[in-house]
Amino acid sequence: MICLSARFASVFTLAALSLSFHAVSAQQNVPAAPAQEPATAAPSAPAPAGPPVFPKPNPENFNAPSPTKETIDAFIQASWGYDDTRMWQVQAILKTPVEGLSKVVLLVGDKTGKQKPSAIQFFALPDGKHIIAGDEVLPFGDHPYAENRAIVQQRADGPYRGSAMKDLEIVEFADFQCPHCKDAQANMEKLATDFPKARIVFENYPLKRLHPSAEKAAGYGICVAKAGGSDAFFQFASAVFDGQDGLATADGATLTLNSAVTKAGQDPVKVAACATAPQTVAAVDASVKLAQDLNIEQTPTLLVNGRQVPIGGVPYDTIKQIVEYQEKLDGLTK
């Protein structure tokens, strides 16, 4: 588990996770410059950029019975459709030595011609619901995020702001001691403003091996929410992130958390006692288990109606674009 922002917007390929890119070879024949040019000749203008022209697929490279090209296209559209400059072509669906396991090769490009075309490959599993891309197992299919959306609707019970309805549910998995989670809070505030009909949920994902005070902070947050509701929790969370440096030591963590509890209008003594109670520990563990079951491996990460969106270091405009597109996919906008 990691707290970092290594994934960036252009790697929102297949379900917003990293894939293996292999450069596609290309050549351009450029005529040699004339030996002499008239003194009055104006410099030639650069050729306008344009979309790449992919080579025609070889029918012999489509020898696996599944998945179908239509399913792959639907999956890529769901994953990439928020970016109308991206283009792709299914180049191969190949059998492998493993029964039911198919190798899929895509050519991808950029309609503006600014990026060099690339090839991506992944392996489609026999269940029709998952792929292996690099070292990741990702959801797959015509509606790749539906299963995760159902899980989140049933189990994401953390404090929330916005709508009580779950039509558009944005779940933030975060660690109070993760610096990138602190940085992401500005974007979370913007999401709350720009999507007032969304239900924005906070789920604890303390990375204990990296952040010794994160689990304690998570327990305090659960108890603040229990005593004062979601409004008190988000006041507490804001104060903890603001004072995050204080979590670096055990004594500093106690002072920082008690101060945040007070700012949220709650009793630090009662909250501290609640934080060590078995039911509180179980609640933190349940939130961590939810993140693990959803294959979330870094903080901060959003799930937007089940669609995983790493947000550390990602421009807000890209995050907003993805949320808007997911709304459209789920029939929430015209």
Cβ atoms of residues 302 and 145 within 8 Å: no
One-letter amino acid at 194 equals D
Could you tell me the pTM of the whole model? 0.84
Distance (Å, whole) CA 111 – CA 180:
32
CA 62 to chain centre: 31
The single-letter DSSP state of residue 153 is H
- Give the separation between CA 145 and CA 251, rounded to whole angstroms: 42
- Secondary structure (3-state) at 311: coil
Distance in angstroms (rounded) separating the CA atoms of residues 236 and 266: 9
What count of residues does the chain have? 334
Alpha-carbon distance of 230 to 330, in angstroms, equals 27
Q: Which domains does the chain have, with CATH numbers?
A: 2-23+50-142 (no CATH), 147-329 (3.40.30.10)
The secondary structure of residue 97, as a DSSP letter, is S
Rounded to 5°, the CA angle 328-138-287 comes to 85
Burial 65-83 (b: 16+ CB within 10 A, else e): eebeeebbbbbbebbbebb
Tens digits of pLDDT across the chain (334 residues): 667 543 333 333 443 333 332 222 222 222 233 333 334 444 555 555 688 899 999 999 999 999 999 999 999 999 999 999 999 999 999 999 999 999 999 999 999 888 889 999 999 999 999 999 998 899 999 999 999 999 999 999 999 999 999 999 999 999 999 999 999 999 999 999 999 999 999 999 999 889 999 999 999 999 999 999 999 999 999 999 999 999 999 999 999 999 999 999 999 999 999 999 999 999 999 999 999 999 998 999 999 999 999 887 889 999 999 999 999 999 998 6
Residue 21: phi and psi, rounded to 5, are -105, 135
pLDDT at 46: 54
